[in-house]
């Protein structure tokens, strides 16, 4: 009987994607476009937060949005109608994440040149999206109060990857057993460099601080 073949892997299984992601990042930087990868669980309020944020940013910046979902275009239509910005829907065909080549296809369809900032709303999932480099200059995470303050302990990779964690639905704090300071400590335990900004996208609390965070990022994007 033929012996089982052993294969020695000399490079990571994601190395091709990582190379494509780095190439895309360089190209976008050259074109003056800042790409932000937005991750969260389903229902955390990604789209609502983006709509509120974009309506604040659009008076000073040219903004585009790519909405990724397994199917249907409801989020892209909603963003376009509520903000007036350029928006495209990316159907993943059942895949639970986006990679760099998918992101490139979306950017080309969006027509990204001339934009200052592009938000990529990734598929709602706390595991798969964190494993693939999309070519973004900044990864951010939206955690909602109803999900609980222990999520950074249960899903460490996505929190380690993100430069910003938005804690959304703070208007629901009176109704849930959620300890804001404990959550902040859990996040910083996973990622000491992460910025943490609590907001209520629905009510508007914290959105001015969030807006300023992105204005500062864009003003310094040539240093990224």
- In tens, the pLDDT along 28-52 reads 999 999 999 999 999 999 999 999 9
Q: What is the pLDDT of residues 63-103, one digit of tens each?
A: 999 999 867 788 899 999 999 999 999 987 777 889 999 99
The phi, psi pair for 212, rounded to 5°, reads -65, -35
The pLDDT of residue 97 is: 81
pLDDT at res. 91 = 84
- Strands 34-40, 117-121: pairing is parallel
Three-class SS of 94-134? CCCCCCHHHHHHHHHHHCCCCCCEEEEECCCCCCHHHHCCC
Beta strands 138-144; 86-91: pairing state: unpaired
Distance separating alpha carbons of residues 132 and 139, to the nearest angstrom: 11
Q: What average pLDDT is seen over the chain? A: 91
- CB–CB of 52/204 below 8 Å? yes
Per-residue pLDDT, averaged over 122-126, amounts to: 93
Whole-number pLDDT of residue 14: 81
| Residue 6 pLDDT exceeds 60 | no
Question: What is the mean pLDDT of the segment spanning 139-158?
Answer: 97
Which helix (H) or strand (E) element contains residue 64? strand 63-69
Residue 135 pLDDT grade (very low, low, confident, very high; cuts 50, 70, 90): very high
pLDDT at residue 7 in the model: 46
């Amino acid at each position: 009987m033929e012996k089982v073949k052993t294969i020695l892997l000399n490079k990571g299984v994601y190395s091709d994607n990582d190379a494509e992601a780095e190439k895309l990042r360089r190209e976008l930087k050259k074109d003056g476009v800042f790409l932000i990868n937005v991750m969260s669980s389903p229902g955390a309020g990604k789209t609502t937060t983006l709509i509120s944020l974009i309506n604040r940013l659009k008076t000073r910046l040219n903004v585009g949005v790519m909405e990724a979902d397994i199917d249907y275009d409801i989020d892209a239509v909603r963003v376009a109608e509520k903000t007036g910005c350029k928006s495209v829907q990316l159907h993943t065909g059942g895949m639970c994440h986006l990679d760099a080549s998918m992101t490139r296809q979306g950017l080309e369809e969006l027509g990204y040149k001339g934009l200052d900032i592009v938000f990529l709303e990734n598929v709602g999932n706390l595991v798969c999206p964190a494993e693939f480099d999309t070519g973004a200059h900044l990864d951010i995470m939206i955690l909602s109060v109803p999900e609980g303050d222990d999520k950074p302990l249960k899903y460490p990779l996505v929190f380690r990857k993100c430069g910003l964690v938005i804690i959304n639905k703070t208007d629901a704090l009176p109704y849930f057993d959620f300890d804001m300071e404990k959550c902040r400590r859990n996040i910083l335990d996973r990622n000491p460099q992460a910025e943490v900004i609590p907001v209520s996208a629905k009510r508007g609390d914290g959105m001015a601080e969030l807006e300023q965070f992105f204005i500062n990022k864009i003003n310094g994007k040539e240093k990224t």
